[in-house]
Structure 1
Amino acid sequence: MEPLGQDDFAAIEGQLKDCVEQDRRYWRVNDVKCDAIYTAKTYEEFADRVAAAHLRPLERSDYKKKKNSGWNQYASREKKEYDE
């Protein structure tokens, strides 16, 4: 039997990272299911909550990253061209 090489360790590390992420995802969805089973009023609401389990709430820092640009950048560009 040959000793394990660097490629083998890299493959094992990749598999471990994938398994850990799958485990996190499973428990996150499971927690949402356990909460929604008692609080959801309809099956559609339950299904929507489970489908959105991967989302996280916005934090204050997310709002600071917002660009201060108009909704329609092309309309504002045309306005500038007409003003000149």
Structure 2
Amino acid sequence: MNKPLSQEDVAAMEGQLRDSVEEDRKYWRVNNVKCDAIYSAKNYEEFADRVAAAHLQPLQRSDYKNKTPKSWNQYATNTKNSYNE
């Protein structure tokens, strides 16, 4: 009754393993933030905010370098003015 695993079965097990590993990482990341915040947070709101932001990563220097300059008002910086046509 034991038949070999198909390629789809192996792929499904790999997907389940990846999901389980990611869930485990998330659990421990949140748990570490909770353990730190339980002693250093001044009130429950700060504790809850820190736990809610546990998934965020700090910005790296390269994040600032890769920023593309954008104008806030693209219509005001447009060189073609509709009134002068």
Q: Do both share a fold (TM > 0.5)?
A: yes
Q: Note the 1:50-65 alignment, pairs <5 A.
A: 50-65=51-66
* Distance in 2, Cα, partners of 1:13 & 1:72: 47
Match status 1:71 vs 2:72:
yes
Task: Provide the residue aligned with 2:27 in structure 1.
Answer: 26
* Distance in 2, Cα, partners of 1:16 & 1:74: 50
Q: Kindly state the Cα deviation for residue 75 of structure 1 after the two structures are TM-superposed.
A: 2.3
Q: Kindly state the Cα deviation for residue 76 of structure 1 after the two structures are TM-superposed.
A: 1.4
Q: Kindly state the Cα deviation for residue 70 of structure 1 after the two structures are TM-superposed.
A: 1.2
Q: Root-mean-square deviation (CA), in Å? A: 1.4
* Distance in 2, Cα, partners of 1:57 & 1:74: 33
The count of residues paired between Structure 1 and Structure 2 equals: 82
Q: Sequence identity of aligned pairs in percent?
A: 68
Query: AA paired with 1:64?
Result: K
TM-score (norm 2): 0.90
TM-score (norm 1): 0.91
* Distance in 1, Cα, partners of 2:75 & 2:6: 56
Query: AA paired with 1:6?
Result: Q
SS of residue paired to 1:70:
coil
Unaligned runs of 5+ in 2: none
Q: Kindly state the Cα deviation for residue 81 of structure 1 after the two structures are TM-superposed.
A: 1.3
Query: AA paired with 1:20?
Result: V
